[in-house]
Amino acid sequence: MVSLTRHIFEQQCFQPDGAEEFFTIMNRIVSGGKRIARDLRQAGLTDGLGLTDTRNVHGEQVRHMDARANELFVEAFQDSGIVQLVVSEEMEEPFPVAAAKETGKYAVFFDPLDGSSNIDVNAPLGSIFSIHCLDPNGRFLKPGCEQVASGYLLYGTGTILVYTCGAGVHQFTLDPVVGEFFLSALNVQIPARGKIYSVNEGNRYKWSKNMIKVIDYFHENDKETGRPYAARYTGCLVADVHRILLKGGLYLYPGEVRKPEGKLRLMYEAAPLSFVVEQAGGLGSTGVERISTIHPKTPHQCVPLIIGSREDVETTEQFLSRK
């Protein structure tokens, strides 16, 4: 049994002081994640379900557990000494960690709770994280290809953590009795092509003609290419992308004719998940460009997301680039 702590400590992809810093940041994420997993398990007994009366920067009504998960992650970084900035879906402005004003070298981006409409129905949820180094001038908005590490926790039948620091993708499962994550899959590889597509088809009337053709293509019957693909959609990006990571296929949240930027957020959804999927051999794309090369303009900007098996994403890109 290899614990996450030991695995991270043995990662070779950092310089000596970088390794220790990475260890510290990951431990904070893990402690926040474990507390979120605990609170989710008890949410039905502790008034943790339902909505608050506030809206976040995206205009979405915040749920009690969104707010709680955000609090837990912010708290986890209060005294790390090296994380200077926490950026979250649930905070309009980047949060400067006072204790790390001088010493902080890192910014951490979070979707504290992903798929939060699943809370009330006991369906899967996740947390997504992305770690960036701050530039000497304090610049923190950087393209995905400059991430130090990224990953997610998935609160499903079990709690798992998947991460990459640019040296493969590794999965850990929480032993709830011991309270520690242990390695459950080393060097995860995504199949080059899958049999599953994952999209909210209720939005079909909002899509471009080319996007409709993409989904029609995956519906067609063709034995040679394994079509039709099966549809799977949980409403939790982390859960849907995790299925695709392990089984192959593609997840799509495309742009819409009236909202070309789509719904998902670059810095704490699309970029970190694309880093994971690309490290496993897949692709993350907007349909016309790689997610990892987009230069962000704002912390909360949205992008279309087509992510998964390399061949499936490339097929989609071919449809979307047609005139």
* Residue 240 touches Mn ion, criterion: CB under 5 A: no
The H-or-E segment that residue 30 falls in is helix 16-42
CA–CA distance, 83 with 77 (Å, rounded to integer): 7
Task: Identify each DSSP E strand in the chain by its residue range.
Answer: 51-55, 61-63, 83-88, 95-96, 106-114, 125-133, 149-155, 159-164, 169-175, 180-185, 196-198, 230-231, 250-253, 283-285, 305-308
Closest residue (Cβ) to Mn ion? 114
Contact stretch for ligand AHG (CB under 6 A) within 16-24, 32-40, 188-196, 229-237: 229-237
* Residue 235 touches ligand AHG, criterion: CB under 6 A: yes
CA–CA distance, 56 with 183 (Å, rounded to integer): 35
* Residue 111 touches ligand AHG, criterion: CB under 6 A: yes
Rounded to 5 degrees, φ, ψ at 167 are -130, 60
Smallest distance, ligand AHG to C-beta of residue 114, A: 4
Of 173, 200, 208, 210, the one binding ligand AHG by CB under 6 A:
200
Residue 278 interacting partner from ligand AHG, Mn ion, none (CB closer than 5 to 8 Å by kind): none
Of 70, 80, 88, 116, the one binding ligand AHG by CB under 6 A:
116
Tell me if residue 250 falls in helix, strand or coil. Answer: strand
Smallest distance, Mn ion to C-beta of residue 323, A: 33
Residues of span 106-145 touching Mn ion by CB under 5 A: 111, 113-114
Q: Please say which residue, 82 or 252, places its beta carbon nearer to Mn ion.
A: 252
Contact 112, 89 (CB under 8 A): yes
Tell me if residue 210 falls in helix, strand or coil. Answer: helix
Smallest distance, ligand AHG to C-beta of residue 64, A: 13
Facing residues of 149 across strands? Answer: 131
Residues in the site for Mn ion, rule: CB under 5 A? 89, 111, 113-114
Residues in the site for ligand AHG, rule: CB under 6 A? 60, 89, 111, 114-116, 200, 235-237, 263
